[in-house]
Structure 1
Amino acid sequence: MRTFLSLFSKPDDVIGGYINGTRKKYVNVISYFALAITLAGLQIYVIQKFQTDVTLYDTSTELGQKQQEVFDSIFKFTTDYQSLVMMLYIPFYALLARIVFFKINTLNYTELLVVFLYAQAQISICIAVLSIIIIPLNIMSFATIGFFIMPLQIIYFTYCLKRVYGLNNTQTLIRTLIFIGILGLLMFIIMVAGVVFALKSGMFDEMIEAKKAAAETAKLMPQLSHFLF
């Protein structure tokens, strides 16, 4: 609990202390990240138990059914492999931070890994606890919670890096904008690559055919109405 609270009030003390060799004052980074993965596993259990059906599309139409199937497959992957995805992000974030802070050599790449291990674990613990509490009460779906994860990550990562690097507000704003710009560009490239892969693999073929069929039906409706009435 001391580590959890201190990562909000003084993350530079927790992260900087670990980097500088302090091991007894707070939970070490590996154990803390393991706790985050454990809670993420419990979160997945809660989602699968209490929220088996997240419907975003009109399933009364063929197009809506195909769109819902694609969403369901993506949603299942992100929940089932959340811990793996969470771990894969960290080297990427550390590399991105190394690029953004290229003129500030306070932290090397390995030390930035420690920063993001702690920061990612903290965000994951918060999201997991929130999900475990509100999903059984049917207050909010995990899909809705997911919309807030990236903004929360950026805000908290910025806060941690500001404290660890000892930046002023102007320096923090400039570096954050650069970080968001590079991250946005890379996310766009990844999304485009994902769409191209999905199209090449035929993942969207049924959805495209359903959309064409719906369009053809929409064209025929006026003619059918004129013929009947």
Structure 2
Amino acid sequence: MNCKNCHTELQEQDDYCKSCGGKVIRNRLTFKNLFEHISETFFNYDNKLLQTFIQLFKQPEDVIDGYITGTRKKYANVISYFALAITISGFYLIIVNKYFPKTFDFSQMTISGQEDFQKKNSTFVQEYQSILMMLYVPLYAFMARITFFNIKKYNYTELLVIFMYIQAQISIASAIVVITLGVLGISSSIVGILMIPLMIIYTTYVLKRLLKLSASDIVVRTLLFSVVLGVTLIIITILCLVIMYLTGDLQETFGPAFEAGKKIGEEAAKAKSAN
């Protein structure tokens, strides 16, 4: 009998291949053993994915720093975990849009006249969620590099690993929380808004443990990060406006608001002159 994975010759009593470590499968595939395999893979407490999810809350440095320094078997590797998060995010958007659409309905918080722009923006974010997740990682790593300019513990590539784990954890946890609240009947735009500060808190928590920051360090670094984030957002906003201007979307999006403002100004001027 040979191993079905690497074709190494096996003994009849072998349960695992001595060469590749693959489990020896003797039974035909049935619904029962298929379910057992899925349960063992995803729901077993000793499973890497479940342990990675739990430890990224309890001891994120054990997972992230361990991977960076060479411990690659204890927890799910960063690429697999990030890929899982992207997959879960896709299903999450489908479920929320179908059953809990109020979570992404920010119309009540939108400036009058900008409803269409907000709707287009929300649709764009949802359609390109996976791509945006991948773009966030190098951007966050770059901003962290600037924020922690005098701390040389991690290089840029290692910061990419850190934020891939953080982004994946936030995405998976957000999906679980929002869907759970939706099932319990708590589904509104407030839930979506509240996830943002929780994401910031979790990111701060992870960086604090990885970099061993003091309370004063956290305050100073948070302020510095806010400045870096603000500058970055201004640059991104300018680039988006330029692209919208070149494509003609700027006038289409903001045209009605400009006309409404102009009309209000003219009416105010007429009222003033009449008095």
Q: By the TM > 0.5 criterion, same fold?
A: yes
Alpha-carbon deviation of 1:34?
1.5
Structure 2 unmatched runs, 5+:
1-49
Matched, 1:160 2:242: no
Partner of 2:122: 75
Alpha-carbon deviation of 1:138?
5.5
Residue of 113, 118, 127 corresponding to 2:160: 113
Partner of 1:98: 145
Residue of 128, 133, 143 corresponding to 2:175: 128
Q: What TM-score do the two structures reach when normalised by structure 1?
A: 0.80
Higher relative contact order (CA 8 A, sep 6+): 1
1:22-81 CA-to-partner distances (Å, cap 9, x unmatched) read 122222111211221111011111133232893716xxxxx96x6333222211111121
Whole-angstrom CA distance in 2 between matches of 1:18 and 1:6? 13
Structure 1 stretch 111-120 or stretch 123-132: which is displaced more? 123-132
Contact 1:19 1:111 in 2 (8 A): yes
1:67-125 CA-to-partner distances (Å, cap 9, x unmatched) read 33322221111112112101111011111112222221111111111111111111111
Whole-angstrom CA distance in 1 between matches of 2:75 and 2:220? 31
RMSD: 3.0
Partner of 1:227: none
Aligned residue for 1:99, secondary structure, equals: helix
Partner of 1:226: none
1:166–1:49: structure 2 CA closer, same or farther, 3 Å change rule? same
Residue of 70, 93, 107 corresponding to 1:56: 107
Residue of 59, 73, 77 corresponding to 1:28: 77
1:35–1:208: structure 2 CA closer, same or farther, 3 Å change rule? closer
Whole-angstrom CA distance in 1 between matches of 2:191 and 2:227? 23
Contact 2:78 2:165 in 1 (8 A): yes
Alpha-carbon deviation of 1:137?
5.8
Partner of 1:4: 53
In the TM superposition, what are the counterparts of 1:199-210 in structure 2 within 5 Å?
199-210=245-256
Alpha-carbon deviation of 1:200?
4.4
Contact 2:116 2:253 in 1 (8 A): no
Whole-angstrom CA distance in 2 between matches of 1:191 and 1:146? 22
* Greater Cα radius of gyration, structure 1 or 2: 2
Alpha-carbon deviation of 1:204?
3.9
Whole-angstrom CA distance in 2 between matches of 1:111 and 1:214? 49
Partner of 1:42: 91
Partner of 2:47: none
Alpha-carbon deviation of 1:130?
2.0
Aligned residue for 2:213, secondary structure, equals: coil
1:219–1:137: structure 2 CA closer, same or farther, 3 Å change rule? farther
Contact 2:114 2:254 in 1 (8 A): no
Matched, 1:17 2:66: yes
Partner of 2:31: none
Alpha-carbon deviation of 1:216?
3.9
Higher helix share: 1
1:6–1:198: structure 2 CA closer, same or farther, 3 Å change rule? same
Sequence identity percentage:
43
Structure 1 unmatched runs, 5+:
58-62, 224-229
1:204–1:140: structure 2 CA closer, same or farther, 3 Å change rule? farther
Whole-angstrom CA distance in 2 between matches of 1:55 and 1:210? 19
Structure 1 stretch 183-192 or stretch 43-52: which is displaced more? 43-52
Structure 1 stretch 9-18 or stretch 195-204: which is displaced more? 195-204
